[in-house]
């Protein structure tokens, strides 16, 4: 089954290569989606693919790259999200919703 999940990663996750790491990990799992910094200091990602692959990315995001210090990973499964079907991209920083 294909699923789409939004992730919000908190902690020391900006300025440590988290987005590049996440993009590489997601591509390795064969996922499509995107990753970006948020103005509140967190990182947001949207991932779409097979349930097992998305679950593997979520678990990997709980650690992140060696220089990151992740304190939490919030996830929300989405009904549908428009994104490139065979690509995982890094987007510019966006305004945080909270």
| Catalytic residue set | 19, 37
- How far is residue 44's CA from residue 51's CA, in Å, rounded to a whole number? 19
Beta strand spans in the chain (E): 2-12, 32-37, 43-50, 69-78, 88-90
Geometric angle at alpha carbon 37, from 91 and 78, rounded to 5°: 75
Which DSSP state fits 63? T
Let me know: does 45 contact 6? Beta carbons within 8 Å.
Answer: yes
């Amino acid at each position: 089954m294909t699923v789409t999940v939004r992730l919000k990663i908190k902690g020391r996750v900006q300025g440590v290569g988290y987005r590049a790491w996440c993009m590489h990990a997601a591509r390795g799992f064969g996922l499509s989606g995107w990753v970006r910094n948020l103005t509140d200091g967190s990182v947001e990602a949207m991932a779409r693919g097979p349930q097992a692959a998305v679950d593997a990315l979520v678990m990997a995001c709980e650690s992140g790259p060696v220089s990151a210090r992740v304190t939490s990973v919030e996830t929300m499964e989405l009904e549908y999200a428009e994104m490139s079907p065979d690509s995982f991209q890094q987007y510019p920083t966006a305004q945080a919703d909270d």
